[in-house]
Amino acid sequence: MIEYSNDFNNTLGLHPRGTLVKGKCLEGYKTQGKLRKRCKKDGNWMGHDITCTLITCPMLTSLEQGKDLEIVEALNKLLR
């Protein structure tokens, strides 16, 4: 989410001072930290970054004899 003042039109893709940027990780990712940055008067960003890590399960190491394991590709579903 990006918050601008009411009188700003961002057609150039630039962010004026005072712009506040908030963000979160996509579904299926674990969030570490909280994204919240503000464009300072000197044109530099101040604030915190986040790290997004894909949530995964460990490999199955043992299965009962005689049973097949069907692996469903969940990553494609997450990326849609």
Closest by Cα among 39, 44, 31 to 8:
39
Mark 45-55 as b/e (b = at least 16 C-beta within 10 Å): eeeeeeebeee
Above 90 in pLDDT, residue 42? Answer: yes
Q: What's the topology of domain 2-79?
A: Complement Module; domain 1 (2.10.70)
Share of the chain above pLDDT 90, in %: 16
For the segment 23-46, the average pLDDT, to the nearest whole number, is 89
Closest by Cα among 59, 79, 62, 80 to 71:
59
Highest mean pLDDT among 2-11, 40-49, 71-80: 40-49
For the segment 29-53, the average pLDDT, to the nearest whole number, is 89
Mean model confidence pLDDT for the chain: 75
Residue-wise pLDDT tens digits, 48-72: 888 899 999 887 766 666 565 555 5
Q: Which residue has the higher pLDDT, 80 or 5?
A: 80
